[in-house]
Amino acid sequence: MIARFLTVLLAAFLLALAAPLSRAQVGPSDRELHIYAGLHAAAAEGDVAAIERLIGEGEKPNIQDSRSRTPLIVAAFRRQHEAAQALLQHGANPNAHDTDGYDALAIAVVNNDLDMVKIMIEGGADVRAKTGFDNGSALIQAAQLGQVEIVQALIAAKADIDHANARGWTALTTAVALGSGDKEHLAIVEALVKAGADGDIKDRAGMKAIDYARRRGYSDMVPILEKAAGRHT
């Protein structure tokens, strides 16, 4: 009875920690979209011809709105792939951050937009960048959200496998602690371990990924995580 109560309590606590992720990224509001002009409007609408014309006329590709969103960041929020490619080809900075600390790559990850993720990587996005309110990363976000293909793309692009956010959670820890234990999160744990993730990293509570797996009853993950132990001793 006590063990079950503690498990439920832990799940509720972890869910509370996960909640800010979905609130942290603030896309353009309807009002902002209505008043946008120039490149921001063209990016939001996916108007490639307008993007090329405006830049040709001298508009700066990295101009920012009131929340420091560049046209490229707006294109990422709006899933405007061709607009993003055009902006990158004309000098847009893929590593610009908005006022919340997110870049276009991190925004594409939370949107579960694999095509945009690939566009950003090919366009020079820093896959090792620290993002957001908790000093996280695109890989940590993708691991939490169960995005197997995006995790694989980021690993292939040499993302920092063992970067830990402000809670001390790496992508591996996050996939377990905030994942649902489903086949997607299992596949992510396997991918991270195969890529060399360090299973001995402890978070601020002194917990490892394997500790969360055992506490949450993710028995399929435990043997995989055991392979990630002792790699850096």
pLDDT tens sequence across 162-215: 999 999 999 999 999 999 999 999 999 999 999 999 999 999 999 999 999 999
Domain boundary among 126, 160, 186: 126
Q: What is the DSSP string of 123-136?
A: TT--TT--BTTTTB
Is 21 among the domain residues? no
Q: Which domain holds residue 172?
A: 135-233
Nearest to 169 by CA among 122, 203, 205, 142: 203
Q: Are residues 63 and 122 in the same domain?
A: yes
Could you tell me the CA-to-CA distances from 109 to 76, 164, 182, 201 in Å, in that order?
A: 10, 18, 19, 24
Of 97, 126, 155, the position where a domain reaches its end is 126
pLDDT per residue as tens digits for the range 15-57: 444 444 444 689 999 999 999 999 999 999 999 999 999 999 9
The DSSP code sequence of 125-171 is --TT--BTTTTB-HHHHHHHHT-HHHHHHHHHTT--TT---TTS--H
Q: Does the pLDDT value for residue 148 go beyond 50?
A: yes
How many domains is the chain built from?
2
pTM listed for this prediction: 0.89
Q: Does residue 44 form part of some domain?
A: yes
Long-range contacts from 36-41, C-beta under 8 angstroms, 24+ separation:
36/65, 36/74, 38/63, 39/63, 39/71, 39/87, 40/65, 40/69, 40/71, 40/74
Q: How confident is the model at residue 232 (pLDDT cuts 50, 70, 90)?
A: low
Domain of 120, CATH number, reads 1.25.40.20
Confidence bin at 10 (pLDDT 50/70/90): very low
Average of per-residue pLDDT values in the chain: 91
Q: Which of 77, 94, 126 is the last residue of a domain?
A: 126
Mark whether 228 and 150 lie in a shared domain: yes
Task: Provide, rounded to the nearest whole percent, the portion of the chain with pLDDT above 70.
Answer: 88
